[in-house]
Amino acid sequence: MCGRLAQYHGIHDFVAALSMSGALINNVGDQPLGRYNAAPTMQLALLHVADDKLHADAVRWGWRPHWATDRAAPVNARVEKVAHGPFFRQIWPHRAICPIDNWFEWVDEGGPKKQPYLIRHRDGSPILCASIGQLPDPDEGQGEHDGFVIITADAQGGMVDIHDRRPVVLAPELAREWLDPATAKERAEQMVLHQGESAEAFEWCRVRASVGNVRNQGPELIDPVG
């Protein structure tokens, strides 16, 4: 996963896809999110559970522990190492879902520049990405060091031709279990290792090169070309 995605529907559309009962504490507003070309360090809508309620907060995409001052904040975490490596130990228990409409990858097809591709669900439904992070406190609000990463796995099937990594995407029932604080860490690890959606759930198409400039935003960026 290269580090570019779209999150343009409203938070209520994403919550509806999650099919999670109970109150929503909505700190991102009711309007469409309008992120057609989101990049690392941007504030993105993130879903997490605190005090038995579903919270929607704007959280920085990217996180690193306080002691890792010699490297940039990663935006992704490899599923093979995330549960046991020291880097993400602090935030592994703090699970979240990053709901997106699609993500982008760039492919070398022999031209002067790499060709961008959009990847989305075949049925157009929201994509529920397993994530972990240092998350806003429900009482104190956002903190200076809040941030999140998306968990990634090896690509499968034809998706390998687009990129070697993909986000771990959970079906709604698994996403609800992932968010549940009562879910044991061992169970959460098995979910992201073995129960992410397969490549068959997705489709991909070429999009215009202007998506390569993060300053460009707008629905034309997700229109197929060629």
pLDDT the model gives residue 77: 96
Domain locations in the chain as residue ranges: 5-222
Which of 98, 105, 129, 197 is flagged as catalytic? 105
Q: What is the pTM of this model?
A: 0.95
Map tokens 């009562």 to a residue.
182
What's the mean pLDDT in 96-122? 95
Query: What does the pLDDT look like over 147-196, one tens digit per residue?
Result: 999 999 998 877 777 878 999 999 999 999 999 999 999 999 999 999 99
To the nearest whole number, what is the mean pLDDT of the chain? 94
The CATH fold of domain 5-222:
hypothetical protein yedk fold (3.90.1680)
In terms of Cβ atoms closer than 10 Å to its own Cβ (0-12, 13-18, 19+), residue 219 is exposed
Map tokens 């904040």 to a residue.
73
pLDDT category at 138 given cuts 50, 70, 90 is: confident
What's the mean pLDDT in 120-137? 97
Q: What angle do CA 162, 8, 143 make, to 5 degrees?
A: 100
- How far separated are the first and last CA of the chain, in Å rounded? 23
Whether the per-residue pLDDT at 140 is higher than 90: the answer is no
- Per the annotation, the verdict on 105 as an active-site residue is yes
